[in-house]
Structure 1
Amino acid sequence: MIEVILNSIKNNGLITAFAVIGITMYISHFVSVKFTKGRVHGSAIAILIGLILAYFGGLHTGGQKGLADIQMFSGIGLMGGGMLRDFAIVATVFGAKFEELKKVGLIGVVSILVGTVVPFVIGVVVAYSFGYRDPVSLTTIGAGAITYIVGPVTGAAIGANSTVMALSIAAGVIKSICVMISTPYVAKAVGLTNPRTAVIFGGAMGTASGVAGGLAATNPRLVPYGAMGATFHTGVGCLLCPSILFIATKLIFG
């Protein structure tokens, strides 16, 4: 009986992945409600659990894809891949109303540009302080500070090595968790109470997962608007980092 169950799990990887993620989310939201009274959103706890599982999965297999390197959980690699991730982001944005987006105006564009350049500069400064000097590494890590998607996209475009690209992803993940956890606490102070400010907030922060999780804990109705701003932010980062910002970094650091 046990052998039949194990074979079914191995042969239906994607279904197993959905089951694992579903169980993880249930536990995460239970912990969020019972132990933090909703102050730390379940998504943030789920990301932390995922990182821990990926770490031990990598230790167990010596691989590079965490749990996905274990045959039983190989479907997680597909579920967590770019195709389903982008589909989820696009599906979320479909909940936004175009009339509300038109109200954002010029300040929305400014928020995206500022939200792209400022974290990039911070990422470059931190990378430089840790001993990185070549423009490729500095640009890639700076791009990762924008979002964990922009980092590897930029690194692949300008020829960064795998270690630097991994660091850029780590920087983006840390930012995502920080945004997710802090959003409910700062929402009232920054006026995060309507679709217009949600779009601006998403454009300034840029991390779609962090913004979505944070807004879900603040006001679920604002999630599509924040995700829209964050999605634009990611696109702008993918355009500017391998081009203008990389050229600027080369001019400064040679």
Structure 2
Amino acid sequence: MPRLAAITLVTHLNALQHTPLSSEVAASLVAHGDVAHHVVDADGLLGLDPLRSSDLITALRAVQLVAPGSWQLALPRPGALGVLRGPVALNRAGLETGAVVVHASGGWAFVPHRVGPAVQWRVLAAERPFPSPSAAECERALSAELLQAAGTLSELDAPSGTRPDVDLPGPLLAAAYPARQQRAAERALRLLLVAEAGLADDRDVLHSFAVQKRADVLRRLQAAAADALCAACAWPEG
């Protein structure tokens, strides 16, 4: 899914900037399990050939030259753009795919599109994004929403939905990330998938009040899980 590709790219971009990781190794780790990753820089924002796609190694080398610094993950959905501030073309592309990797100072963003067994990244212009909340703050908010959701669904005698069979591809974040952030990201992604599965399946809910109440609590859980996942993907400062 594009979301997993974006998580892998953003954390390896951050590791590339803040650790001795090489572009070659980072590209190999990002593309792991896929046939290929290509980058389309139609506006030449990274200085790549705008008339054809570039391989990921070339794109990562360009990032090191022209776009140093940290990157953030955005998981936009209708009514909630996350850290994205625009422009409109980026917001629209992000809503179409549900995932964006954006430079923390603005200027550049990567938007993934899966093409069969490969991934194509589009480089788009980006405004400076909103700062991500702290990982600890988001973890507390997610725990609170999880408790609230469990209590509300129990009162309604409404199921949360069919629990998805989540098979995460090994460590979710780049290896340079602290173990606590790895665990936080995996927990947030699992809960995000559970909330999304529940929102997509209300067949066992018997009356309209329960349908609405259940949807409300699952949307709050979805939002908290998305925020926690984005925060866990930010490079740990200090």
Query: Higher strand fraction: Structure 1 or Structure 2?
Result: 2
Structure whose alpha-carbon radius of gyration is higher: 1
**Greater per-residue helix proportion:** 1
What is the TM-score of this pair, normalised by structure 1?
0.27
